Structure 1
């Protein structure tokens, strides 16, 4: 039986697997902020539910059932974020924590109705894809801003990372999804990127750390 804690573990494993499929209990312990014995106990429960497969000294894996369950939790989370932004006026830096609570509502038609009201969006406010009702995720082929050569015009389409600190930074720089900019220069020394935003009169410099978190389409 699903519980909020189990769902959070499944979601964490799903995200870790995207970064590196060789997931250890230590990796999951760090992600969840709990001890390895606590993780070990929960993994045993998840295995009993046939959501994961784990053998000592081997990577932790989601089963097909576990992967679909995790994707559907993420679907609820991302739909909620979109609803909060579009209909309730929350900023993209505010929606995550609220969605963390609402994603555990286990009434499917609630989220189906939310999806319908939103017009069946493909992306959440941070540009991350929203899984469909079967847990399928349609990949998008974005480029990382730090990899774009000078002279190209791009549109910000998604974020690799969406911490509140980063989103507040982007707000201060007036950068959001859909922002169009031209790459003016890449600094060889520190890989910072000078860009010219379409809406602003003067160029700005984005650090290598910032530009590596911005996913773009080339126009």
Structure 2
């Protein structure tokens, strides 16, 4: 149940989430996603209209943010205290987040020094309010530049590749060009030792996985 709420929260930035989209994100059959959506609707955590997708109710949004908070605290702990790479912590946190008590959650938060973000730059919820999201590289116009704030943690290979390019939270990146016909995005990673930076071409999926500070 918690995984469904978290997935709807993460997928619902642009509006209602189709149950087929939800099923694909969770790796389950579409009928299973539909049945769970109906159950969560009955519990007052989702609004579900056939053929119109699902959205979180205020109670559902709060429940989703609680899971997101535990997940990101665990990712931070696994990176800082255990020494796992940023491409390894997501799957481990997925397994552990459902078993973290409120007491242990508070203790982890204190132990880590009340971190503001996880290893991927994702903000760790504090008040239950919605978390602001800056534009992705795909949404950033050519000629603009900014600081990488967040990188999607869903694909370990993607994280390793972007890390090798230096596209990590805190890096300065300029969007050079959006190639036509829904083509890839050409970007330049700016470093203090290289005024011109180094150019890379990112496919649309990769460019959509990197967010700049708003």
Normalising TM by the smaller chain, what interval?
A: 0.7 to 0.9
Is 1:49–2:43 an aligned residue pair? yes
TM superposition shift of 1:184 = 9.0
CA shift in 2, pair 1:192/1:129, >3 Å: same
Deviation at 1:114, TM superposition (A): 0.9
**Is 1:139 equivalent to 2:132 in the alignment?**
yes
Structure 1 residues 124-203: aligned runs within 5 Å: 124-132=118-126, 134-139=127-132, 141=134, 144=137, 146-147=140-141, 149=143, 154-160=146-152, 162-180=154-172, 183=174, 185-186=176-177, 191-199=185-193, 203=197
Partner deviation per Cα, 1:159-211 (whole Å, 9 max, x = no partner): 25652112111232344322345x49548676412444235698422114345
Structure 1 or 2, whichever has the larger Rg, is 1
Q: Which runs of 5+ in 1 are unaligned?
A: 1-5
Q: 2:207 and 2:52 mapped to 1: Cα distance? A: 35
Matched, 1:16 2:8: no
Unaligned runs of 5+ residues in structure 2 are none
The RMSD of aligned alpha carbons is 2.9
Tell me which residue corresponds to 1:3: none
Name the counterpart of 1:31: 25
Corresponding position: 1:84 with 2:78: yes
Structure with the bigger percentage of strand: 2
Shift of 1:11: 1.1
What whole-Å deviation, never above 9, does each CA across 1:58-90 have from its counterpart, x for those lacking one? 331222111111110010000111111111111
Work out whether residues 88 and 156 of structure 2, in 8 Å CA contact, stay in contact via their aligned partners in 1: yes
Deviations along 1:22-65, one digit per CA (max 9) or x if unpaired, are: 22222222222222222222223222322112233333122211
Map Cα deviations across residues 128-162 of structure 1 (whole Å, 9 max, x no partner): 11112x42244254673853527x5x433222565
User: TM-score w.r.t. structure 1 length?
Assistant: 0.79
Please say which of residues 155-164 and 25-34 is displaced more in the overlay: 155-164
User: Alignment partner of 2:40: what SS?
Assistant: helix
Give the whole-Å Cα distance in 1 for the aligned partners of 2:26 and 2:213.
Answer: 33
Once residues 89 and 36 of structure 2 are traced to their aligned partners in structure 1, the CA distance between those partners, rounded to angstroms, is: 28
Is the contact between residue 46 and residue 55 of structure 2 (CA under 8 Å) also seen in structure 1? yes
Contact persistence 2:142–2:178 (CA under 8 A) = no
- C-alpha distance in 1, partners of 2:171/2:162? 11
- What is the number of residues matched between the two proteins? 208
C-alpha distance in structure 1 between counterparts of 2:189 and 2:19, whole Å? 42
Residue 214 of structure 1 pairs with residue 201 of structure 2 = no
Please give the TM-score of this superposition, normalised by the length of structure 2: 0.81
